[in-house]
Amino acid sequence: MTVPAAPQRSVAEADADVIVVGAGPAGSTTAFHLAQAGLNVLLLEKTTFPREKVCGDGLTPRAVKQLIAMGIDINAPGWVRNKGLRVVGGGLRFELDWPELASYPDFGLVRTRQDFDEILAANAVRGGVRLLQGVNVTAPILDDRSGHIVGVTAKKDGEEVSYRSRLVVAADGNSTRISLAMGLHKREDRPMGVAVRTYFTSPRHDDDYLETWLELWDGDQLMPGYGWIFGVGDGTSNVGLGLLNTSESFKGMDYRDLLKRWVKNMPSEWGYTEENMTTPIRGAALPMAFNRQPHYTRGLVLVGDAGGMINPFNGEGIAYAMETGRIAAETIVQALGRTTPAQRERVLRAYPQILKDAYGGYFTLGRGFVELIGRRGVMNFATRHALHHPGLMRFALKLLANLTDRRGDASDRIINALSKVAPPA
């Protein structure tokens, strides 16, 4: 698939109602919903498609719901459906189907980031968004009087260019240069994860379940993290692991070496050997639980990884990138529909609280979970005892994947109540 190129424009013609920095899932989703509301949207991407991103490539029902809402054809070739999660740990191996809910589909998907982001960007362009690739945003343009961001400077084809807009959305990931330039630094009291992964040619490429390994051993030490095996459906498996900074040895850990040692213990018929590796082992940071705040300041709106919107329970980021992109777009549309600057600012300043109402309590629970499993012996105890109780594991699947109905069964009501009473992140 080739993303349609935006027509060449002068700086004056490139002005937009909203500039979105970054064409990952958060940026493309935000841009799509803004354009659907009739706004003039400019989406700036520093690389060119196709491009690769480090990810497990697994999409839970939360993410599937957002894809369906944007009209993405998930029945087209290349989308691999899965029924649920296969859990390996404590000497057990069992399968948990995604719950049947009114709020979410009962299936997940796998699609590599090699073209997943491109699909979303192309969908945004079809929806009316102007996309410019190879535009590396370097700094905000600030209004001299208010200090609000009114545009960005960037490098394109070796030259400095500038683009102006009424609002700017930071969807530029964990590094989020534009947020840092606006004084928004990450919070050290929030968990951070690291994910590393590679691809192997393997007969396990076609699997009805996402597979997660709860016990991740480094010698005789059980690490606070998990491993995964996701069949991609193209002859390869995405195999990786995620680790949390709650481990004492987190800083000195050689993640790539740990992944190599882990797969060496796999059955030989799976084919997870170095000669079957199709890509180098690559890693990325996972900013969790609102690790950069506030999510709105002086004309800048944060979405996705730029705002640390990754689920600390399971490391899922794509669903929350798309969800916060939609929420941000709805807020921006309402704000720009107001008649005075004061009225617009009032709407925009409500955005951080909207996110806290939606995710804050749940993310706080996740932070507690991360701290708990980082303690020596806790993860080992949990895998040895909890896995033997199917009802408890079905509850855990709903909790960790954040899949509940507002008025569902008893487990839904418990999870929703806990998220509501927990202090917002």
Torsion of CA 65, 234, 258, 217, to 10 degrees: 60
Mean pLDDT throughout 223-227? 77
pLDDT digits 0-9 by tens, 96-119: 999 999 999 999 999 999 999 999
Residue for token pair 């719950």? 99
Q: Whole-number mean pLDDT of the chain?
A: 91
Residue 43: enclosing H or E segment and its boundaries? Answer: strand 41-45
pLDDT digits 0-9 by tens, 328-348: 999 999 999 999 999 999 999
- pLDDT grade for 15, boundaries at 50, 70 and 90: confident
- pLDDT grade for 372, boundaries at 50, 70 and 90: confident
- pLDDT grade for 180, boundaries at 50, 70 and 90: very high
- With b for 16 or more beta-carbon neighbours within 10 A and e for fewer, the 194-214 pattern comes to bbbbbbbbbebbebebbbbbb
Mean pLDDT throughout 30-39? 98
Mean pLDDT throughout 192-205? 95
Residue 3: pLDDT above 60? Answer: no
- pLDDT grade for 271, boundaries at 50, 70 and 90: very high
Residue 236, pLDDT score? 97
Residue for token pair 């720009």? 336
Residue 197, pLDDT score? 96
CA distance 22 to 305: 11
Mean pLDDT throughout 220-224? 69
Residue 377: pLDDT above 50? Answer: yes
When mean pLDDT is compared across 119-128, 182-191, 211-220, 392-401, the lowest value belongs to: 211-220
Residue 10: pLDDT above 50? Answer: no
Percent of the chain with pLDDT over 90: 76
Residue 4: pLDDT above 50? Answer: no
